[in-house]
Amino acid sequence: MRATRLSADAIIGIGIALLGVGFAIATARIDVQPVYAKIGPTFVPWLVSAGLIATGSLMAWAGLHGPPTAGHEAKTEWRPVAWIFAGLIADWLLFKPAGFIIASTVLFFCVARGFGSRSALWDALVGAALSIAAYLLFRYGLNLTLPGLLAGIWR
Amino acid sequence: MTTLEHLIAGFSTALTLANLGWAFVGVTLGTLVGILPGIGPALTIALLLPVTSTLTPDAAFIMFAGLYYGAMYGSSTTSILLNTPGESGSIVTAVEGNLMARQGRGAAALATAAIGSFVAGTIGTILLTFLAPVIVKLAIRFGPAEYFSLIMLAFVTISAFLGESRVKGMASLFLGLAIGLVGIDSLTGQARFTLGFPNLLNGIDVVIVAVGLFAVGEALHIASRPDLREARIEAVKGSLMMTKEEWSRSWLPWLRGTAIGFPFGALPAGGTEIPTFLSYVTEKRFARNPEEFGHGAIEGVAGPEAANNAAVAGVLVPLLTLGLPTSATAAILLAAFQQYGLQPGPLLFQQESTLVWGLIASLYIGNVMLLVLNLPLVGLWVRLLSIPQHLLYGAILVFSTLGVYSLNGSTFDLALLAVFGALGFLMRRSDLPVAPCVIGLILGPMAEAHFRRALSISQGDLSVFVTQPISAAILAVALAALVVPPVISWTRSRRAVA
């Protein structure tokens, strides 16, 4: 399991360094008015870009060459991650068109699946009950507007 | 007015029925989220921010402060009965306290943790009461250069002391700084790093980042690791009334834990974790029977539990007097102040004296409430631990999306939440500490503003940061914190080779 641990550090380090390169490119494209030429809106972004590149590269280098860090031999399951992430995406896409209650029920269901629950119907029911309760609390208790149940109905 | 007069005035604010009620809501919620794994004070305050905008600042901050204290009490219960820490400040308790619980001494562990938290929380609050005015008097003369240097010191110490390596702490800090740069530059009105999204012009809200990194990141991480998903709850065994021997073994560790915890919170070294480890090591050294450590020694629970509560009180010193957050929760509290258009610092003590002293007074009251909530009523709270994990995280994520959506009423923020959730997951996988990122996000824009303001006063002369004595001294300390430890370990390793 050491190999995955090393590559995780290396991959994330490279990712951070690449983000730094992206920030540097974006910084170069910021228009600077001559009045602010000395310490303008790009000064700190340059520093931050450099910092991301430096720390990311150091992390990646340590991940590839350094001694392995102990205590991370646990295995990773990717299915739960996919379930939860799918739930979040579904929540984002359904929130406006289908309303808060349906979107949240779907999210709850997906997260429960991700955590290995086996009773699908029960999860959906608990999710729906929780979502309706939260909707009522926010809509009538706290006066915050949420997209209701399907367009036009109950909002 | 003297400090005591201020404090008495503060009590008259805190003792109104409404504010007592808010303090009670805060400590109850705090205990709740402290006990529930996967949700902590930073996340809860972030989620409450959109809701509390309708409250008066007095009520909101009295509730938040109670929540912050309460989470430390509650997390010790989880650590002792379930061998996972409720919060990062209870990692030591999760070892030693859980061992006690397995031997049937769970009640004694809970009692020494709760009473120790009360002792440390109260002493910490007293120290806060009398230290804050002193620092305010000093800080009133600080200009942009001094504030910039202070933030640099906080950056260095936070990224160096939180987490397993400085490189990772720094990487996390720079990620936070980068996120903080997105949006319109406050001094020139120039849009930066918005990638053409109009939703990003006002910057990325700290609530979205915090909820993404903490709630979503944690859910993804726990779900991906089967070894973290199983936990055994120990029943509360024994008597909550400590025996004479247990008292005599606890009171010195409480006081020593307080002495270790408070300075760590108050200095911008940040965090509640390091003082708990230090306290544990100290207690082991002072103990009459050190061989008990690692097999359930009561001193190993009493000291660290006092240390983390004292550290929480300490964290409030730089937050209130300088506007300098040194933990993730303090960073979110700073965002809460900003939501009300308030800036913590010396001026807050002058202009919002009712708010500040009401808040401090409510901490004394909150500590008493928490002792009652967590000791006689611990049996009620323990039932929370039996909530199945899949339902708990399902509910946490539903409320997270709800809180994030109600910030701006925009589903764009839900997409951002997924992005930062993925980032939080990746950071946990490679042990990047999350706190420096949140602190960098909130302090970065302030650092930039102070930096550029200082330079515009000095007409572009960079030497302003080292020619003003206070600023120069702070920067020197920051430089030392950055350079000295690696140099020491380098010379040590060279000596070992030679």
- Residues B264-290: tens digit of each pLDDT: 888 876 567 788 888 998 998 888 888
Percent of chain B with pLDDT over 70: 98
pLDDT score for B266: 86
Q: Determine contact: A14 vs chain B, CB below 8 A.
A: no
What is the count of structural domains for chain A? 2
Domain interval for residue A106: 78-141
Q: B211-228: per-residue pLDDT in tens? A: 999 999 999 999 998 877
CA A115 vs CA A149, B213, B386, B392: distances in Å? 27, 18, 15, 10
> Across the interface, do B223 and A39 touch by the CB < 8 Å criterion?
no
Q: Does A148 touch chain B (CB under 8 A)?
A: no
A30 contacts B164? CB cut-off 8 A:
no
Q: What letter does residue B383 receive in the DSSP assignment?
A: G
Q: Cβ(A33)–Cβ(A80) under 8 Å?
A: no
* pLDDT value for B151: 92
Q: Considering only the beta carbons, identify the residue of A80, A88, A117 that sits closest to B421.
A: A88
Both tokens assigned to B155: 């950056």
Question: Percentage of residues in chain A with pLDDT exceeding 70?
Answer: 81
Task: Write the burial class of residue A113 (CB in 10 Å: 0-12 exposed, 13-18 middle, 19+ buried).
Answer: buried
pLDDT for residue A35: 64
The SS3 assignment for A10 reads helix
For residues B435 and B270, what is the distance between their CA atoms, to the nearest angstrom? Answer: 10
Q: What is the pLDDT of residue A68?
A: 58
Picking from B161, B150, B151, B156, the residue whose alpha carbon sits closest to that of residue B474 is B150
Answer yes or no: do A95 and A57 share one domain: no
- Length reported for chain B: 498
Global confidence as pTM? 0.89
Task: Flag whether A155 is in a domain.
Answer: no
The pair of three-digit structure tokens given for residue B315, joined into one six-digit string: 């964290």
Phi, psi of B367 (to 5 degrees): -60, -40
Q: Are residues A60 and A83 in the same domain?
A: no
Say yes or no: A59 and A111 in one domain. Answer: no
A43, A65, A87 - which closes a domain? A65
Mean pLDDT of A51-79: 79
Q: Give ∠ CA A99-A128-A104 in degrees, rounded to 5.
A: 45
A61 and A21, same structural domain? yes
Here the tokens at position B18 are: 């409404």
Q: Answer with the residue of higher pLDDT: A62 or B316.
A: B316
Tokens of B85: 């820490």
Per-residue pLDDT, B212: 94
| pLDDT value of residue A73 | 53
Q: For B233, which DSSP code?
A: B
| Residue B371 confidence class, pLDDT cut points 50, 70, 90 | very high
Of A48, A92, A114, nearest to B178 by CB-CB distance is A48
User: Are B439 and B173 in contact, with CB atoms under 8 Å apart?
Assistant: yes
Residue carrying the six token digits 């708010």: B355
Q: What is the mean pLDDT of residues A130-152?
A: 75
Lowest mean pLDDT among A89-103, B192-206, B479-493: B479-493
**CB–CB contact A115 B390 (8 Å):** yes
Q: Cβ A81–B188 below 8 Å, yes or no?
A: no
By the 8 A CB rule, do B14 and B358 touch?
Answer: yes
Query: Taking all residues of chain A, what is their mean pLDDT, rounded to a whole number?
Result: 83
> In the prediction, which pLDDT does A1 show?
40
In contact, A108 and A127? CB cutoff 8 Å? yes
Q: What is the pLDDT of residue A76?
A: 82
Within this chain, do residues A85 and A129 fall inside the same structural domain, yes or no? yes
Nearest to A30 among B190, B395, B426 (CB): B190
Lowest mean pLDDT among A90-104, B172-186, B477-491: B477-491
Distance from CA of A96 to the nearest CA of B (A): 7
Does the distance separating the beta carbons of B188 and A41 come in below 8 Å?
yes
Residue A12 counted as domain residue: yes
Is the separation of the CB atoms in B383 and B175 below 8 Å?
Answer: no
Same domain, A55 and A25: yes
Chain B residues in contact with A34 by the CB 8 A cut-off are none
More confident: B241 or B331: B331
Tally C-beta pairs within 8 A across A and B: 203
B388–A117 CB contact, under 8 Å: yes
Domain end call among A65, A88, A114: A65
Half-sphere exposure of B201 (CA within 13 A, CB side): 6
Best of A44, A81, A85, A126 to disrupt the B interface (most B CBs within 10 Å) is A44
Domain match, A59 and A85 both: no
In B391-430, which positions are buried (b, 16+ CB within 10 angstroms) versus exposed (e)? Answer: bbbbbbbbbbbbbbbbbeeebebbbbbbebbbbbbbbbbb
Q: Is the pLDDT of residue A2 over 80?
A: no
Among A30, A58, A115, beta carbon nearest to B389: A115
Cβ of residue A99 closer than 8 Å to a chain B Cβ: no
Q: Is A46 on the interface with B (CB under 8 A)?
A: no
- Report the mean per-residue pLDDT for chain B: 89
What pLDDT is stored for residue B451 in this prediction? 92
- Give the dihedral of Cα atoms B269, B273, B275, B280; nearest 10 deg: -160
Chain A nearest CA to B102, separation (Å): 24
